[in-house]
Each structure stands twice: as C-alpha cells, then as structure tokens.
Amino acid sequence: MDIAGLRVALVAGGYDPQGYRIQNMPGESTWCIRKQGKTWLVFYFERGTKWEMHRFKTESAACEYFFNRIVHG
C-alpha cells in the first residue's frame, strides 16, 4: 500500500478524515503519517505532543501500520 492507496482505502471504508492526517500538519487528537527525510513517521498527535511515535523505512510498511491503527484503534 502507498499513500494514494491509503487515502482510497480510508475513504472507501468511511473513516472520518477529521481523525487522521496524511502528509499534512497534525490536527488535535489525530493519527498522522508523514515522511521526514528517508523515514516515514506514524504518530498520534494530542495537545502539541507526538505520542506513540513509530518510524518506518518504507512507505508501504508505514501505510499498512497507519491503516491498521485507524481501522482497529
């Protein structure tokens, strides 16, 4: 899965886009996925703090993890 596929899967699943951010500035109480240099980051953003930070070497691994966090909590 890549970023484009992630977007499609989340929209098709009817997941609220207010609960996540893809490649955008984090919103309050949202899951976020961003590329920083050669590393992909997935984290939960709340009250100005990044929680549960996970780093991935590949876009695919980051997208799969992000999708599962949104779908399964």
Query: Is there a contact between 71 and 15 (Cβ–Cβ < 8 Å)?
Result: yes
Per-residue confidence (pLDDT) for residue 40, from 0 to 100:
98
Structural domain that includes position 24? 3-72
pTM: 0.90
Q: Which two three-digit tokens encode residue 3?
A: 């970023």
In 1-73, DSSP assigns E strands to 20-22, 30-36, 39-46, 49-56
The per-residue pLDDT for range 3-38, each reduced to its tens digit, is: 999 999 999 999 998 889 999 877 788 999 999 999
> In this predicted structure, what is the pLDDT of residue 27?
76
Reported as a pLDDT band with limits 50, 70 and 90, residue 43 is very high
Q: How many domains does the chain have?
A: 1
